[in-house]
Amino acid sequence: MADTDKILFPSRFGIEKRSVIDSDFPESARIALWFVLRRTVELNRTEGWVRIAEEILRLHRLKKSYEEDEAADLAYSIIHQLEWTKVYIFCERVYEKLLTTEVEYDFNGNPETVYEIEEVRRDFERDINQLLGEETIVYRMKNGEFYRPGRFHSQKIASKAYRVLQDPILNDARQHFNKARLFFEKAPEPDFPNAIKEAVSAMEAAAKHLFSARQKDFEKVIKSIKDANGEAIPPTIINGLLAPYRFRGAGHAVAHGGATGGNATAAVAEWTLTVVAASIIYLRDVAQSYEAEPPPF
């Protein structure tokens, strides 16, 4: 299962205007975090607002007296004062220390477990990752700890590729690229071989649809492409375009289980997604050279 189960709407359709965030936990995200906490409290999945407020005060190194019914508002206020790195620490602490089994009581006061702690934590993690996705924050939570699924420049190139992929003739390519990103960001364990396979399929689909290729062989399609001036793609660029395609065929457990061309590691998967994203942008630019006016996206 992916962190948010899907690529969120703005990224999926290439209309996200905000910059990717990697050195902040912005005010809007802090507001959303408070609502995630409120949901957790209302579902009786924590010991309550007092414990949450105490943890936030501890992180902020602040001693403050307050009434129990003021704890929620105090938590809201201090969340906005925390240094941004400490907000991430706080979220990890909530996962590890403050969540509890969800219990309901029958008419006789007997407890009944609704969700075990493992499911409570998974649900909290999904809420946090949804929040991060909505705020274009690069980090994701996995098993209670934050990690970064891909470097900053990789995510920026992917975002640009999504804008290009809004061309209706690239619907197939966009679907493959979506799948590649989901496999790459899959939690708790990413699926790097399938991320690579889907990314390469996105590039194949883009090339064949952009240039109305009748060839089934991807290498022949790339080598046959010419721009509006009749210029073929330079050989060194062709080699770069074909590198992910060739690795898909040679990489171990990517397309063929017995292939010995190298393992599908996190670094190789990220490289593949980045090269494919840049390649799709490049191929669209070449295709646009035939057009008097570029389409409005």
Q: What residues does each domain of the chain span?
A: 23-147, 152-288
pLDDT at 226: 85
Q: Is domain 152-288 annotated with CATH 1.20.120?
A: yes
pTM of the model: 0.63
**pLDDT tens-digit series, residues 201-210:** 999 999 999 9
**pLDDT tens-digit series, residues 217-275:** 889 999 998 877 888 899 999 999 999 999 887 765 565 555 556 788 888 999 999 99
What is the pLDDT averaged over residues 283-287?
A: 91
**pLDDT tens-digit series, residues 61-75:** 999 999 999 999 999
**For residue 56, is pLDDT > 90?**
yes
DSSP the chain: -BSSSS--HHHHTT---SPPBSS---HHHHHHHHHHHHHHHHTT-BS-HHHHHHHHHHHHT------GGGHHHHHHHHHTTS-HHHHHHHHHHIIIIIB--EEEE-TT--EEEEE-HHHHHHHHHHHHHHHHHHTTBS-EEETTEEE-SS-HHHHHHHHHHHHHTTSGGGHHHHHHHHHHHHHHTBSSS--HHHHHHHHHHHHHHHHHHHTT---S-HHHHHHH-B-TTSPBPPHHHHHHHHHHHHHHHHSBTTTBTT--S-B--HHHHHHHHHHHHHHHHHHHHHHHTT-SS----
What is the pLDDT averaged over residues 10-33?
A: 82
**pLDDT tens-digit series, residues 130-156:** 999 899 898 899 899 998 877 777 877
